[in-house]
């Protein structure tokens, strides 16, 4: 497909995918906020409300690799339609249980597990279908718009979910069902198809983990996922917790902490929108290094700040640059991945990036309690500096290896 003949703004299938995903994501984020509020309302126990996050995290660890294999084993559009119908059924059951006045904890936790599992298959299927709908040289722009959509719903979804829950607890789940039905209708109208792997049996146990093998054999991809993905995710999860608690100490009402979170989300949205203008997908390695070094400079400086608005602005800058790096690396990884392995590689990347995420908030809380917020910011800043140095060194070695192979008469990229 010629980029000059079919610009992204005129790509019918992309617009259907974008708008359908917007509806589904907005409704799902409303319900995500409402679920712990519902459990808290019914049980009065913060610990039981916290089980929702635990179940979602456990589902990720158990189901992410099989879900990626499923995304490679069936036609991707058909899989996405099935996931959305599953979500509609879950939302309807939750809404009915709320209307009947007895939403049991086990039903809520089961719903969380089902929705989490189907979303793990839905995401890689979306990326695979995007490759079929969008020319390769427009993938960076398309991914940046999808990330901007996600950042926007992350801001609007919880706000709307809170308002709807305050009106009637059933409304967020009705909104979730409605958003998924709109997305289902959009997907039905999409003409592009993304066929499954023609051979190789993705669901066979050995082939199911081939995405992990693919990622691990690519030295550059492996390094970025460990440092930029797992390392920065864990560290920044701790940084956000420490920033929120700092805001709460300054202003116990919670408004200042809300300002910090809102400004951070705006930073992510701005970065996703800026990425194509900065041509970040054309310079993914530079973008990733810039992201790490921006965090390495700003996070230690947070130790000198207590003003919530300034904290939020500094975090927004880090998240803005991080979003640019995410778009750049996601585009490169999608282009490096064989189409028949899109689901498994996407799931492997998600597993590596997210596996350490729960460590950050726990470490942040412990450090802030024992040594204070200033020390916590400095520790996380030191961890990020070490990661930035390691990533920069590894990428330079990889570039040197590529130049050496080219000079020796080898064609193509260096092996991982």
Q: Report pTM.
A: 0.78
Give the span between the Cα atoms of 130 and 3, in whole angstroms: 15
Q: What is the mean pLDDT of residues 373-400?
A: 87
Beta-carbon contacts of residue 244 (< 8 Å; ≥ 6 apart): 257, 260, 261
pLDDT digits (tens, 9 = 90+) for 56-78: 878 888 888 899 889 888 899 99
What's the confidence (pLDDT) of residue 410? 38
CA distances from 72 to 193, 330, 331 (A): 13, 18, 19
Surface-to-core class of residue 155, CB atoms within 10 Å of its CB (0-12 exposed, 13-18 middle, 19+ buried): middle
Q: Which two tokens stand for residue 275?
A: 């990425």
- Which domains are present in the chain? 1-208 (1.20.1250.20), 209-416 (1.20.1250.20)
Q: How confident is the model at residue 340 (pLDDT cuts 50, 70, 90)?
A: confident
DSSP assignment of 307-346, as one string?
-HHHHHHHHHHHHHHHHHHHHHHHHHHHHHS-GGGHHHHH
For a pLDDT cut of 70, what percent of the chain falls above it? Answer: 92
- Is 188 buried (19+), middle (13-18) or exposed (0-12) by CB count in 10 A? exposed
Least confident span in 3-12, 266-275, 399-408 = 399-408
Chain segment 224-282, per-residue pLDDT in tens = 898 888 888 888 888 888 888 888 787 776 677 778 878 888 898 899 889 888 888 88
């Amino acid at each position: 497909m010629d980029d000059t003949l079919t610009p992204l703004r005129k790509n019918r299938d992309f617009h259907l995918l974008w708008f359908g995903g917007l509806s589904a994501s907005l409704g799902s984020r409303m319900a995500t906020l409402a679920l712990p509020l519902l459990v808290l309302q019914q049980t009065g126990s913060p610990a039981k409300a916290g089980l929702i996050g635990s179940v979602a995290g456990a589902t990720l660890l158990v189901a992410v690799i099989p879900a990626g294999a499923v995304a490679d084993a069936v036609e991707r559009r058909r899989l996405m339609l099935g996931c959305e119908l599953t979500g509609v059924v879950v939302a309807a059951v939750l809404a009915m249980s709320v209307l009947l006045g007895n939403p049991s904890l086990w039903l809520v936790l089961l719903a969380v597990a089902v929705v989490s599992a189907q979303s793990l298959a839905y995401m890689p299927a979306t990326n695979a279908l995007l490759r079929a709908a969008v020319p390769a040289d427009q993938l960076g722009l398309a991914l940046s718009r999808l990330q901007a959509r996600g950042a926007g719903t992350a801001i609007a979804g919880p706000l709307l979910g809170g308002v709807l829950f305050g009106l009637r607890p059933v409304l967020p789940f009705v909104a979730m069902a409605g958003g998924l039905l709109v997305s289902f209708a959009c997907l039905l109208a999409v003409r592009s198809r993304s066929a499954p792997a023609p051979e190789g049996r993705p669901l066979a146990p050995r082939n199911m983990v081939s995405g992990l093998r693919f990622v691990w054999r690519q030295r550059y991809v492996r390094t970025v996922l460990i440092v930029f993905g797992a390392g920065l995710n864990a560290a920044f999860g701790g940084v956000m917790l420490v920033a929120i608690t700092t805001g709460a100490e300054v202003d116990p009402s919670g408004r200042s902490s809300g300002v910090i979170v809102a400004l951070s989300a705006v930073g992510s949205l701005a970065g996703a929108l800026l990425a194509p203008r900065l041509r970040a997908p054309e310079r993914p390695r530079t973008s990733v290094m810039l992201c790490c070094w921006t965090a390495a400079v700003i996070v230690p400086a947070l130790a000198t700040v207590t003003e919530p608005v300034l904290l939020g602005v500094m975090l927004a800058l880090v998240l803005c640059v991080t979003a640019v790096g995410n778009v750049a690396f996601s585009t490169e990884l999608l282009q490096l991945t064989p189409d028949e392995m899109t689901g498994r590689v996407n799931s492997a990347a998600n597993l590596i990036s997210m596996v350490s995420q729960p460590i950050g908030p726990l470490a942040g809380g412990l450090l802030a309690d024992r040594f204070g917020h200033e020390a916590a910011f400095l520790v996380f800043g030191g961890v990020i500096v070490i990661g930035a140095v390691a990533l920069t060194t590894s990428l330079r070695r990889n570039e040197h290896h590529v130049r050496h192979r080219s000079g020796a008469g080898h064609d193509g990229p260096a092996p991982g």
